[in-house]
Structure 1
Amino acid sequence: MNSKKPSKISPLRNAIKLAACAVSLSTALASPAIAQHAVITIYHHVSDSTPRSTSLTAQELRTQLEYLRDNDFAVWPLDRVIEALKNQEPMPDKVAALTFDDAYESIYTTGWPMLKEFGYPMTLFVSTQPVDDEQSGYLTWPQIRKMADEGVIIANHMVYHPHMVDAQPGESDAGRLQRLREELLTAESRIEEQTGQSHKILAYPYGEYDLEILDMIESLGFTALAQNSGAVGYHSDFRALPRYPLAASFADIESASTKLNSLAFEVRHIDPVSPVTDSRRPAVTMQLAGDFNVSQLGCYANGQPMELEWLDREAVHFRIQPAEGQEFAMRRFNYICTAPKRGTNRYYWFSKFWTRSTPDNAD
């Protein structure tokens, strides 16, 4: 992905802007209500010399942090967000948690000092093998321990950063799950050994998982985070919480601010639950709930609107599938559904994540 701002507004962004103009802001000045939503961000590199697809510059990160500060966000540690949502505790109107994956060097040299300047907590997800191997471009254990000692949450990103849905040659599905279980617990033990922390929070490498992995995560008492966009709420699946990637073309504050202010739909039904598919345009049925006008609900694939096939409009139960010609070729992709909350300029946001088992190009 390149770093230049698109010359045209995408259909999804344009639809959001048009809907916002149509929504009354009369209640926006009311006293803040107790909320049941939060957003979790994901970053990798904080640099202008690393791959743009997983990077944002120091200035882009600073602009986002200034936005959080200037717009009355409560920036909480990730574990506090998770516990508050799981226990359905009252929360401030706008809550964010900031996470960084892969333990890259620029997180320590550029990202973390900036967050300390703003007084914001963060979570670092560590794949332990590159750190153990002292691989170039990654943090060292002494650096990670220093971060841990100063309050950074150090959490699990597996040992080898695997594609968790992929079996190794000749490996059975049971063998794959046993290998993943051992790797997960090995990484957790290594992090605890080096930092004294064991939060039992996993960030899926590449954001990939399947139903068997969800069951494994639950059985081991872990909470897990994915990489598809969306807000989190009381009714989220704590085996695969969404996070907003806010790098590359999503780093600009216009895009980031919409996402930082987003709300979580209550997903009352989704079929299939599994993200694994062989199709380049899979269909999904879902039922959503929230304080929104059904006529303003929109779903998008590759930024293009999808037709909602209503199964029960009153219950907001519908089926979506990209049209022919809107097929996906990549390994991972999302369908995004949004709707403005009544009386505000904030959006409910949900993405259905897919990972293809037979992609045209793996990454």
Structure 2
Amino acid sequence: MNRMRSMISALSALLLVLALPFGAAATQAPASEPLLVLSYHDIRDDVARKGDADAFAVSTQNFAAHLDWLSGEGYHPVSLSQIVEASKGGAPLPPKPVLITFDDGLRSVYTKAFPLLRAYGYPALAAVVTDWVDLPAGRSVDYGPRPFTTDDFLTWEQLREMQASGLIDVASHSADLHRGVISNPQGNSTPAAITRIYDPAHGYETEQAYLARIRNDLTRSSSTIKRELGRAPRAIVWPYAAYSDVTNEIADSLGMTVSFDLKGRSTKLTSNLHGLSRLLVMDNASLGDLAYQLRHDKARVGVRALQIDLDAVYDADPAQMGRNLDVLVERVKRIGPTHVFLQAFADPDGNGSADALYFPNRFLPMRADLFNRVSWQLKSRAGVEVIGWLPVLGFEPADARVRHDLAIRNTAPDEIFRLDFTRPEVRSMVRGIYEDLAVAAYLDGLLFHDDAYVRDTELLGTLPSDPALRTRALIDFTLELERAAERWRPKLKTVRNLYARTVLQPESEAWFAQRLDRFNAAYDYTAVMAMPWMEGSRTPERWLDGLVTAARRYDPDLTQTLFELQTIDWRTSRPIPGERLVRQVRRLLAQGVRHVGWYPDDFIGNRPKLEHAQEAMSARSFPYEER
């Protein structure tokens, strides 16, 4: 132990000599400069260079190198107090501001990180799970690679010492929310802070009981920190970065007006300090790894999306449904796309509108409580972002009279059934459906279905005749739906389907109330249905070339336009050969397309075949597994 202390002291002294001065010499940054926040967990001397059992651990050597590199690259450390002051119009943050945070309250924050932070003069934020700090002797926490005991966590005495140094702010990481709770009838666990607990005997936790549970936990955590450290926390670091606007409102009422997540790496400061982005440092990131994470342009990362029919997972036999789910997750894991667009509605008759939903809701029948289970399995086991796919107008209320009264009039017989969104009761119902989806399940974003169109012969007298205004009205409604969902799932990505005809023939905006440039201004991505057989083309590849050329008129660098191919020729019900789909993807990429997807991905029938799906839709640099 004495030898270890001597090594720490020597290393600290060396780093103090090497460190560049901060603070007084720094010039002020423009108010718009974003705040970088880095998220660390355990700092250990013995972390394996790669493949350590604890993916969240960083070696002491690499952590020291990170601090040295940040100082050399002109980053300026800031404290929580500086951030709060700047958000209120006080002294602006220095150029390239960075905040270091530590989650979970592990002992290494004191033994390994704190000496280095003192050497560099770096302030930091330590977020503690108060029940873990108070963990009784003989009890343990299942912390991934092994059970952690009280000796693995910070003590209140150590926290008092670090706080007294003026470098360390202590935040809440909850009292007992750093765990999973049962979230559905199948027994899956999801983060406690965002989940309405499922009890087989009583069903789902009520909203009132859920909010009381969160308030009680945060109150207990805040009170414990104040009792032990003499100061209540001003910040909450949500376990697993799982939170909502509603839980932030509870934290606000308890004085925790700053919160953090793990979506993104930096945030432009405003007066609202909830949901500050953090970059999670993991896999024992080397200096090169960290530099890459901070320098690479995330906007250039290509999307590879599989659109999945949940109708194909559903089966009246629960055992078969479980097997279907396993096949799906294994296929997605082996393909390695970035995203799955996951159907959240039931359309067994294939008419394009929702007869029922796959999540508990207040408005339509629930075919099965399935979306939550599948989305979390895809997220946790296959490592993809899950985008919930729902209609915008195409919902069929069970009551025939209601369905008739609320439907859009004067539609052609072959049109998708759609509700009249200009009616307040329709808007309220659809908003509620989107809110219920966000309450029921984990998701990263929303895909607005291709039912979101209005013909020029429809809703006459209630919508303007100007095509641009009609397009705007539908966009505004989808953004209203996004806001309803984001109350429970913040920072959702948005994708909207677009008919190819509106790209190839811009005047057709009048017939659909859709247009690519308006969509790209409103959503993160526009999924153009790049489906030549559906459009009746006799030369599919040349048709795709024309679509790319036409899309460039609106999106020159194709940064937001996703080209979604078809894997089935619906006119003949025959699958498109996988080799041809691979060639089409290559052809698109050669023309500068960044984002591609396809629909449907038939995971049950292995169509397209796995090897073709890997070649076309994998986001991995080398998608094939060793045999």
Deviation of 1:211 (Å): 3.7
Query: Is the alpha carbon distance of 1:161 and 1:112 closer, same or farther for their aligned partners in structure 2, counting shifts above 3 Å?
Result: farther
- Sequence identity, in percent? 24
Greater Cα offset, 141-150 or 210-219: 210-219
Query: Is the alpha carbon distance of 1:111 and 1:51 closer, same or farther for their aligned partners in structure 2, counting shifts above 3 Å?
Result: farther
Deviation of 1:317 (Å): 2.6
Q: Distance in 2 between matches of 1:254 and 1:323?
A: 37
Matched, 1:283 2:446: yes
RMSD: 3.8
Query: Is the alpha carbon distance of 1:146 and 1:88 closer, same or farther for their aligned partners in structure 2, counting shifts above 3 Å?
Result: closer
Deviations 1:19-49 (A, max 9, x none): xxxxxxxxxxxx9852421111111101235
Aligned counterpart for 2:194 among listed residues 165, 173, 178: 165
Greater Cα offset, 252-261 or 156-165: 252-261
What is the aligned partner in structure 2 of residue 45 from structure 1? 42
Q: Distance in 1 between matches of 2:526 and 2:163?
A: 45
Aligned counterpart for 1:242 among listed residues 277, 288, 309: 277
What is the aligned partner in structure 1 of residue 154 from structure 2? 139
Relative to total residues, which structure has the larger helix share, 1 or 2? 2
**Match runs of 1:215-254 below 5 Å:** 215-222=249-256, 223-235=258-270, 238-248=273-283, 251-254=285-288
Contact 2:78 2:93 in 1 (8 A): no
Q: Distance in 2 between matches of 1:207 and 1:320?
A: 24
Deviations 1:227-262 (A, max 9, x none): 22321113485222111111216x233342354469
Contact 2:218 2:251 in 1 (8 A): no
Matched, 1:34 2:30: yes
Contact 1:155 1:199 in 2 (8 A): yes
Matched, 1:96 2:98: yes
Deviation of 1:277 (Å): 6.6
Q: Distance in 2 between matches of 1:38 and 1:308?
A: 34
Greater Cα offset, 75-84 or 147-156: 75-84
SS in 1 for 2:37: strand
Deviation of 1:215 (Å): 3.1
Q: Distance in 2 between matches of 1:122 and 1:282?
A: 31
Contact 1:283 1:319 in 2 (8 A): no
Deviations 1:187-215 (A, max 9, x none): 11111111112232100011101342133
**Match runs of 1:110-121 below 5 Å:** 110-121=112-123
Code of the residue aligned with 1:41 in structure 2: it is L
Aligned counterpart for 2:525 among listed residues 312, 320, 341: 320
Q: Distance in 1 between matches of 2:65 and 2:86?
A: 27
Greater Cα offset, 182-191 or 221-230: 221-230
What is the aligned partner in structure 1 of residue 364 from structure 2? none
Greater Cα offset, 215-224 or 177-186: 215-224
Q: Distance in 1 between matches of 2:194 and 2:248?
A: 11
Contact 2:56 2:283 in 1 (8 A): yes
Matched, 1:180 2:214: yes
Contact 1:227 1:242 in 2 (8 A): yes
- TM-score calculated relative to the size of structure 1: 0.64
SS in 2 for 1:183: helix
Deviation of 1:176 (Å): 1.4
Contact 2:174 2:217 in 1 (8 A): yes
Query: Is the alpha carbon distance of 1:201 and 1:252 closer, same or farther for their aligned partners in structure 2, counting shifts above 3 Å?
Result: same
More contact order relative to length (CA 8 Å, sep ≥ 6): 1
Contact 1:231 1:263 in 2 (8 A): no
Q: Distance in 1 between matches of 2:290 and 2:497?
A: 27
What is the aligned partner in structure 1 of residue 127 from structure 2? 125
Deviation of 1:313 (Å): 5.5
Matched, 1:153 2:150: no
Query: Is the alpha carbon distance of 1:284 and 1:216 closer, same or farther for their aligned partners in structure 2, counting shifts above 3 Å?
Result: farther
Structure 2 unmatched ranges of 5 or more:
1-26, 137-149, 179-191, 300-430, 449-474, 477-494, 499-514, 530-558, 561-627
Greater Cα offset, 77-86 or 277-286: 277-286
**Match runs of 1:209-358 below 5 Å:** 209-222=243-256, 223-235=258-270, 238-248=273-283, 251-260=285-294, 278=441, 282-283=445-446, 312=517, 316-320=521-525
Contact 1:312 1:318 in 2 (8 A): no
SS in 2 for 1:214: helix
Code of the residue aligned with 2:172 in structure 1: it is N
Greater Cα offset, 128-137 or 118-127: 128-137
Aligned counterpart for 1:84 among listed residues 74, 83, 86: 86
SS in 2 for 1:194: helix
Q: Distance in 2 between matches of 1:315 and 1:69?
A: 38
SS in 1 for 2:290: helix
What is the aligned partner in structure 2 of residue 196 from structure 1? 230
Contact 1:218 1:239 in 2 (8 A): no
SS in 2 for 1:98: strand
Deviations 1:96-123 (A, max 9, x none): 0111011101111111111111111111
Greater Cα offset, 224-233 or 253-262: 253-262
Code of the residue aligned with 1:246 in structure 2: it is V
Deviations 1:65-112 (A, max 9, x none): 011111121101123123313437533220001110111011111111
Code of the residue aligned with 1:147 in structure 2: it is M
SS in 2 for 1:188: helix
Code of the residue aligned with 1:239 in structure 2: it is H
Q: Distance in 1 between matches of 2:527 and 2:286?
A: 27
- TM-score calculated relative to the size of structure 2: 0.38
Code of the residue aligned with 1:248 in structure 2: it is D
Q: Distance in 1 between matches of 2:101 and 2:268?
A: 17
Aligned counterpart for 2:108 among listed residues 99, 102, 106: 106
Contact 1:308 1:319 in 2 (8 A): no
SS in 2 for 1:34: coil
Deviation of 1:316 (Å): 3.3
SS in 2 for 1:216: helix
Relative to total residues, which structure has the larger strand share, 1 or 2? 1
SS in 1 for 2:126: strand
Deviation of 1:275 (Å): 6.6
Contact 1:86 1:234 in 2 (8 A): no
